[in-house]
Structures are given as C-alpha cells and as structure tokens.
Structure 1
Amino acid sequence: MTTIPRDRLRELLDAVLDDENDTVAEMATDAFTSPFHFGRQVALGSGESPMAMRRRVMLERAAWQLRQGMTVTDAAWAAGYGSVEGFSRAYSRAFGHPPSTSAGRHWLPAPNGIHFHPPTSLWVRATEQTMNPLVSQLVAHDLDDTAALLGIAETLPEGVLRAPRQSGGTVTAWEGPEESICAVLDHHVHTKEVWLAAIEGADDVPRHSDADVATLRVRHEALAPRWLGFIQDLDDRGGWDDRLIDALCDPPESFVMSSVVAHVLTYAAHRRQLVRAMLAEAGVEVDSGDPILWFRASRGEE
C-alpha cells in the first residue's frame, strides 16, 4: 500500500484561501493549530503573512474575474471587501489602475511564486521574478498620487485651475511654461503618454493645453496600466540596459531604458509637489505627498 505524504504547507495555504476564512483565527481553526503557530508556519513556508497572501491572491482572482465580465461590485464582495470603495482603493494600489480598467495581467509580485490560477486553483512558479521594491514603490506611488491629485483638482473651478501661479515657470526647457495647476497636471500626464508612444512604436501624442481635468483623469486612467505593464515587463526580462531608438525625436535619439524610467519618475515627483504648492496657494488643503505615509496606508498600517 502506497502512502501519499502529507503536504502540510498546502493544507495551510488551503486554510488561508478558503472563502469562509476571513481572519487568521478562522484559518488556524481549519488547520487545527493556534493562530500564533499558524501565522508563523505560513510565513516560514511561504515568506508571506497569511493575511497579506490572502489579500494578494484575492485581488489576483478579482482581476481575472473582472476580465471575464464580472461587475466591480460582485468582484469586491467575492474578494471579501466590505465596500466597493475599499476594494477599488486596494485594487488600484496593487495594479496601478482602477478595477473599471481592464488589467493586462492578473498576477501581482509575490515572494513565493504562489498565484491565483483560474478558475479556482493556485499556481506556484518555480522561480518568481519580483520587482525591486524601491522601483515598485516609486512607480506605484507616482500613479496613485497622480490619481489623488487629479481627483482633488476635478472638484475645483476652472478659474482656480487655470490661474497663473508662477509667471514663466518651467519644469523642462523643451516643454514650455507650466504656470497653472492645470498646465502642470497636463504636462505631467502627457510626459508618460509621449514616452509610451515611443516605446510602443505609436504616433506622437499631441498635447492639448486646453484639456480639462476630467479629461486628464480619463487619460491617466488609460495610460496607468500601460505604464505599469511596461515597467513590469522591463523588470521581468531584465531589460533595464536595453536601448530605445526614439524616432519621434528630430534627429532620432538613443535612450537607455533605466534612464527613461528615472527621468519620468524624477520630473513626475517634482510636478506632483509643484501641484501641491499651487493648491496650497489657492487655499486648498492637501497632504504632504510623503511616500512613507502612502506606503503605510497601502499596507493598512494607518
């Protein structure tokens, strides 16, 4: 008689991902152990805490379900969120775009190769490509913070958004003046659109200086998954030293991809803080934009 060896880690993972288990205590009960030992065993075996793994895999499942046509509301309930707003915030932080925008992939970075595999299984990658956490945080913070600033700006009157606040002010010499809140946000969104066009081999993207903030928000929601997907693909294949020959430049120029990402993130951070200064000048209460506070909030620590 052949005895199949017991796979204790798989039993623990089954308890983590059981739809009926919302807390570590419930998971531990299913696994016939104490919450303390359960959390310790899962962390040692997978490199991830039970709740962190559950949240991540449930978001991966939600991304797949949304691609199959499930509504955002149903995906939120299925993932265990008490509100659509809470689900949308968590989903946007994880994937870099709201759940209403289709995801190019449904796997998120993981320390253990454990992922949701449709329709109800797990997939364990032999080797997991995990993005450098610094790059991941910088990119995610930029996209999340941009969406937050656009959301604030969208509530303000056009007069406040277009009022000149730094006469002749420029961020880069080749892009012209950025004297108002709307102008800075427009340049900020347009920068990624231009680089993505060059990377994807598309036509140049003209800048519409008269675009309103609602339009900028829609444009940002469209570019966010493309930009995040580009960064993830670049990191997955170790392409940071690849070169882009940008035919949209006159004459064409060559750029190392890591320098392109550093360029975009540097000016993005500057423009976001510039918008904050302009909002404060206009009497609008705004946060500091500190990535430390954003990171803590994204982990549910605040």
Structure 2
Amino acid sequence: MVENLSGRDRLREVLDAVLDEDNRTLGEMAEDAYASPYHFAHRLRRDAGEPPVAMRRRVELERAAWRLRRGTSVTEAAFAAGYESVEGFSRAFAKAYGEPPSAVRAGGPRDHWLPAPNGIHFHPPTSLWVDAGEAGGPAGDPVTEQLVRHDLDDTRALLDVAKGRAREERERVLLPGNRVLAWDGEEASLAAVLENHVHAKEVWLAAIEGLDSPARGDGDLPRLLERHDAVAPRWLAMVRDVDRRGAWGDRLVDALCEPPESFLLGEVVGHVLTYAAHRRQLARMLLRTLGAAVDHGDPIMWSRTRSDR
C-alpha cells in the first residue's frame, strides 16, 4: 500500500514491486511490474528520482529502525531487512544512521526516516508515506500551524496571569448566565472559562485517540496548568499529523457522544480553534475586570516575538 499517491496508479504498482518482500533483485522487481529491468529502473528514476535497489535498501533500513525501536533484536531486524549477515546489516545501518543498530533503544525517538530525494518513506506497519515537503510540495499549512501554536502559547500566557489572582477572584461570578456552548454549562467566572477552554482539547483528543472521557477539574489552577502543559504537545502533534497526511476529510465516530456522532477532523480542529479564540478573549476581559494587566492576544505580535522564527 502506498499513501498519498492518488492518481498515480502506475507509480504505485512500481513502488509496490520495489517493496514486495519476495522481490530482492532488480529483475524480480521488474518482472512483478510486467516491465523489463531497464524500463523499470528508468521509470522509477524518472518519477521518484532514485534507483529501485537503492530505494528498497533505504526503506528496508527505515523499517529496521522502526522495528528496533519496538524491541526487535538486531539479528531479527537484519534478516527481515533482507541482509544475509548481521555484520553486513550493521555496517549499512551505521553508515545510514551514524550509529550501530545495537545503540537503538526500544521505545526511543520515533523518527526513523532517512534523507530521500522523493519523500517516499516506510510508514508502519507495512505502508509507505510520501512526505510533501521532501517531495517538493508544501510541508504543511502555515496558517493552521500558526493558529494552533498561537492558541497554545496564548493559553499558557493567560494561565500564568491567572495564577497571580486569588482563587476567590478567579471563581467570582462576573458573567452570570454566560454559556459559550450549551453542553459545557455556565461559564460565569474566569475559573470556569479557563477550565472549559483546557478541557475541550482533552475531550476531543480522548475521542480521537479512543480514550475514556476525561473528568473536569476542581478549580485548582496549578493542576490546570499541568493539564494544559500535558495536552498542548499532544494536540499540536495530532494537528500536524492530520495536516501531513492530508487527512482533514477523515471521519471520527465519537462513541463518547450520546448517541454516537461522527465528525470530520477538519470540523473538529475548526470547532476547537473557534471557541478557543472566543474563550481566550473572554478570559482577557475577566482578567482586566479583576485588575490584571494583559495584552491583546494579537497573533501578529506573538509571531514577531517568537524565539524560533
């Protein structure tokens, strides 16, 4: 299976021939694709910029790195990758990754990709992935990245400001009857607005990841800060993964709803960003009412002051 190559069925067949476990030589690959070795190699060089044997060797090393990080032994990884000896595999792996396979830790970093001229990589458990950035297309939507990262950073800044107010102030009723979303209940205080703001990402991630619905907090701000710091990288990673896969149209069936309801992933992220922006501005207004100094939350100013620009 090759992902992200819609509309290029012939190249899909060629790549499947390259990665088929029974095809170890150029001749076997070409025969499986119903082509001569010359035309098979020419086709792959033209469309993917890489000789078939070199591509197979690289992708097999990527698959071996993934297996090693899952606890597979070096010997098992070597023979699964088609090497006739552990020594030959170890030399090739060390040359590609800069470390011997014995140095790879189980459960270590998940990045197993090697540089590729075409963005084609091994994608577990048995697929390929075509990275748009390497393949010459956009690496990801910069607007989505900015919106999501600004929301997370701005939330952290607001929580830091709120931390300086007494709990009595944070829980003071300032907006009686205010409801952002009917099912979230009344958000009449700063504490309620911030709680629902953080909780929204926890709930949606639980649905996406198939986890139990998380409980709401009890108004403890240090704990709310911890929860935000825990959910923020997971939320960013999820959005980046969806964007990289072009999976905005994938549908989530949320069994946590009663009755179960389905949502497009693009709808989910749009929903969260919309109400996140609203709640952040509500929190600003409430903080100012309580006498705290806060900025305007302008993404332009945030972008200009980021240290990683």
Q: What TM-score results when the alignment is normalised by the length of structure 2? A: 0.56
Equivalent residue number for residue 203 of structure 2: 194
Q: Establish whether residue 236 from structure 1 lines up as the match of residue 241 from structure 2.
A: no
Q: Establish whether residue 151 from structure 1 lines up as the match of residue 155 from structure 2.
A: no
Equivalent residue number for residue 222 of structure 1: 230
Picking from 193, 197, 203, the partner of 1:184 is 193
> Displacement of 1:294 after TM fit?
0.8
Equivalent residue number for residue 286 of structure 1: 294
CA distance in 2, matches of 1:241, 1:194: 20
CA distance in 1, matches of 2:225, 2:247: 30
Secondary structure in structure 2 of the residue aligned to 1:174: helix
Residues 240-275 of structure 1 show CA distances to partners (whole Å, capped at 9, x for unaligned) of: 000000000010001011010000000000000000
Secondary structure in structure 2 of the residue aligned to 1:245: strand
CA distance in 2, matches of 1:104, 1:195: 25
- Inter-CA distance 206–287: structure 2 relative to 1 (3 Å threshold): same
Equivalent residue number for residue 212 of structure 1: 220
Secondary structure in structure 1 of the residue aligned to 2:263: strand
| TM alignment of 1:1-302, pairs within 5 A | 125-127=134-136, 130-208=139-217, 210-298=218-306
CA distance in 2, matches of 1:231, 1:105: 17
CA distance in 2, matches of 1:260, 1:185: 19
Q: Contact conserved, 1:169 with 1:178, CA < 8 A, in 2?
A: yes
Q: Contact conserved, 1:165 with 1:179, CA < 8 A, in 2?
A: yes
> Displacement of 1:296 after TM fit?
1.2
CA distance in 2, matches of 1:164, 1:155: 18
- Inter-CA distance 262–168: structure 2 relative to 1 (3 Å threshold): same
Q: Contact conserved, 1:104 with 1:229, CA < 8 A, in 2?
A: no
**Displacement over 6 Å in runs of 4+:** 103-107
- Inter-CA distance 125–214: structure 2 relative to 1 (3 Å threshold): same
> Displacement of 1:211 after TM fit?
2.7
> Counterpart of 1:184 in structure 2: which amino acid?
V
Q: What TM-score results when the alignment is normalised by the length of structure 1? A: 0.57
Which one has the largest radius of gyration?
Answer: 2
Secondary structure in structure 1 of the residue aligned to 2:177: coil
Secondary structure in structure 2 of the residue aligned to 1:177: coil
- Inter-CA distance 260–300: structure 2 relative to 1 (3 Å threshold): closer
- Inter-CA distance 163–155: structure 2 relative to 1 (3 Å threshold): same
CA distance in 1, matches of 2:158, 2:137: 34
Residues 137-168 of structure 1 show CA distances to partners (whole Å, capped at 9, x for unaligned) of: 00000000000001111111111111111011
> Counterpart of 2:169 in structure 1: which amino acid?
V
CA distance in 1, matches of 2:274, 2:167: 28
- Inter-CA distance 287–105: structure 2 relative to 1 (3 Å threshold): farther
- Inter-CA distance 126–300: structure 2 relative to 1 (3 Å threshold): closer
> Displacement of 1:131 after TM fit?
1.7
CA distance in 2, matches of 1:105, 1:140: 22
Percent of matched pairs sharing the same residue: 51
Residues 40-88 of structure 1 show CA distances to partners (whole Å, capped at 9, x for unaligned) of: xxxxxxxxxxxxxxxxxxxxxxxxxxxxxxxxxxxxxxxxxxxxxxxxx
RMSD of aligned residue pairs (Cα, Å): 2.5
Residues 172-198 of structure 1 show CA distances to partners (whole Å, capped at 9, x for unaligned) of: 011100111111000000000000000
Q: Contact conserved, 1:104 with 1:225, CA < 8 A, in 2?
A: no
> Displacement of 1:129 after TM fit?
5.4
Residues 3-22 of structure 1 show CA distances to partners (whole Å, capped at 9, x for unaligned) of: xxxxxxxxxxxxxxxxxxxx
CA distance in 2, matches of 1:104, 1:201: 23
